[in-house]
Structure 1
Amino acid sequence: MKRLISLFALLLLLCVTSPAYAQSILRDAESEALLADMSRDLIRAANLSPANVRIVVISDPSINAFVAGGQAVYLHSGLIDAAGSANEVQGVIAHELGHITGGHVPLQGRMAQGATGITILSLLLGAAAMAAGSAEAGVGLMQLGQRAALGNFLAFSRAQEATTDAAGVKFLSGAGITGKGMLAFFKRLQQQEYRWGLKRGSETSYVMSHPMSGERISTLTADLQADPAWNKPSDPDIEARFQRVQAKLRGYVAEPKDTLRRYPASDTSIPAHYARAYAYHLGGYPKEAAGEAMALVKAEPKNPYFLELKGQILLESGKPKEALVPLREATTLTNYQPLIATTFGHALLATEDRAHLEEAERVLRQAVARDKENPFAWYQLGMLYERKGDTARAALATAERASMMGDYGRAIPSGQAAMAGLPQGSPDWIRAQDIVMAGQGMMQDRKRK
Structure 2
Amino acid sequence: MSAASDPVKRRLTLRAPRAIAAAVAFAVTMASLPVPAAAQARLPLIRDAEIEQLLRDYTRPILKVAGLAQQNVKVIIINDRSFNAFVMDGRRIFVNAGALMDSQTPNQIIGVLAHETGHISGGHLAKLRTELANASTMAIIAVLLGLGAVAAGARSGQVGGNPAAVAMAAPTSMIQRSLLAYQRQHEEQADRAGVKFLTETGQSARGMYETFKRFADQVLFAAQGADPYLQSHPLPSERIANLAEIARTQFWDRKDPAELQLRHDMVRAKLFGYMDQPGVVARRYPPADASLPARYARAISTYRHGDIRQALAQIDALIQVQPNNPYFHELKGQVLLEGGRAAEAVAPLRRAVASAPSPLLIQVMLAQALIETNDPKSADDAIGYLRQAMLVDPDIPEGYAQLAKAYGRKGDLAQADLAAAQAAAARGDLRTARQLAARAKTRFPVGSPGWVKADDIASVQPTGPRPR
Specify if TM > 0.5. yes
Q: 2:86 aligns with which of 36, 52, 66?
A: 66
Q: Aligned partners of 2:56 and 2:176: how far apart in 1?
A: 37
3-state SS of 2:223 partner:
coil
2:51 equivalent to 1:31 = yes
**Shift of residue 339 of structure 1?**
0.4
Q: Is the 8 A contact 1:304 1:334 kept in 2?
A: yes
**Shift of residue 25 of structure 1?**
1.6
Q: 1:104 aligns with which of 124, 130, 138?
A: 124
Q: Aligned partners of 1:382 and 1:152: how far apart in 2?
A: 51
Q: Is the 8 A contact 1:65 1:76 kept in 2?
A: yes
Say if 1:51 and 1:145 are closer, same or farther in 2 by CA, change over 3 A: closer
**TM-superposition CA deviations, 1:362-415 (whole Å, max 9, x none):** 222222223221111111111011111111111221232233334343334433
**Residue in 1 that maps onto 2:200:** 174
Q: 2:292 aligns with which of 270, 278, 295?
A: 270
**Residue in 2 that maps onto 1:145:** 171
Q: Is the 8 A contact 1:169 1:224 kept in 2?
A: yes
Say if 1:336 and 1:217 are closer, same or farther in 2 by CA, change over 3 A: closer
**Shift of residue 155 of structure 1?**
0.9
Amino acid at match of 1:436: D
Q: Aligned partners of 1:438 and 1:166: how far apart in 2?
A: 43
Amino acid at match of 2:167: L
Matches within 5 A, 1:18-417: 18=35, 20=40, 23-49=43-69, 52-131=72-151, 132=153, 133-194=159-220, 197-199=222-224, 202-203=226-227, 205-225=228-248, 227-334=249-356, 337-417=359-439
**TM-superposition CA deviations, 1:68-125 (whole Å, max 9, x none):** 1132111111111111211011111111111111111121122222333333333334
Q: Aligned partners of 1:400 and 1:66: how far apart in 2?
A: 28
**TM-superposition CA deviations, 1:42-90 (whole Å, max 9, x none):** 1111011166111111112221111111321111111111112110111
Amino acid at match of 2:232: S
**Shift of residue 139 of structure 1?**
2.6
Say if 1:413 and 1:20 are closer, same or farther in 2 by CA, change over 3 A: closer
Q: Is the 8 A contact 2:24 2:136 kept in 1?
A: no
RMSD value, Cα: 3.1
Q: Aligned partners of 1:24 and 1:14: how far apart in 2?
A: 23
Instruction: Report which structure shows greater RCO (CA 8 Å, sep ≥6).
Output: 2
Say if 1:438 and 1:123 are closer, same or farther in 2 by CA, change over 3 A: same
**Residue in 1 that maps onto 2:459:** 440
3-state SS of 2:247 partner:
helix
Aligned pair count?
Answer: 442
Say if 1:154 and 1:431 are closer, same or farther in 2 by CA, change over 3 A: farther
Amino acid at match of 1:192: Q
Q: Aligned partners of 2:41 and 2:343: how far apart in 1?
A: 36
Say if 1:281 and 1:13 are closer, same or farther in 2 by CA, change over 3 A: farther
| Unaligned segments of structure 1, at least 5 residues | none
Say if 1:290 and 1:4 are closer, same or farther in 2 by CA, change over 3 A: farther
Amino acid at match of 1:274: Y
**Shift of residue 357 of structure 1?**
2.3
Mean CA deviation greater in 273-282 or 390-399: 273-282
| Unaligned segments of structure 2, at least 5 residues | 1-14, 154-158
Q: Is the 8 A contact 1:310 1:326 kept in 2?
A: yes
Q: Aligned partners of 1:61 and 1:146: how far apart in 2?
A: 35
Q: Is the 8 A contact 2:77 2:97 kept in 1?
A: yes
Say if 1:439 and 1:144 are closer, same or farther in 2 by CA, change over 3 A: farther
3-state SS of 1:377 partner:
helix
Mean CA deviation greater in 320-329 or 386-395: 320-329
Q: Which runs of 4+ in 1 moved over 4 A?
A: 1-22, 443-448
Q: Is the 8 A contact 2:405 2:416 kept in 1?
A: yes
Q: Is the 8 A contact 1:62 1:76 kept in 2?
A: yes
Q: Percent identity at matched positions?
A: 33
**Shift of residue 223 of structure 1?**
2.8
**Shift of residue 158 of structure 1?**
0.3
Amino acid at match of 2:459: Q
Amino acid at match of 2:73: V
**Shift of residue 423 of structure 1?**
5.0
3-state SS of 2:459 partner:
helix
Say if 1:399 and 1:4 are closer, same or farther in 2 by CA, change over 3 A: closer
**TM-superposition CA deviations, 1:168-189 (whole Å, max 9, x none):** 1111112111111111111111
Q: Is the 8 A contact 2:27 2:136 kept in 1?
A: no
Amino acid at match of 2:187: E
Q: Is the 8 A contact 1:345 1:380 kept in 2?
A: yes
Mean CA deviation greater in 108-117 or 306-315: 108-117
Q: Is the 8 A contact 2:425 2:433 kept in 1?
A: yes
Say if 1:137 and 1:336 are closer, same or farther in 2 by CA, change over 3 A: closer
Q: Aligned partners of 2:20 and 2:365: how far apart in 1?
A: 51
Q: Aligned partners of 1:68 and 1:303: how far apart in 2?
A: 34
Amino acid at match of 1:270: L
Q: Is the 8 A contact 1:315 1:323 kept in 2?
A: yes
Mean CA deviation greater in 278-287 or 88-97: 278-287
Q: Aligned partners of 1:219 and 1:76: how far apart in 2?
A: 26
3-state SS of 1:264 partner:
coil
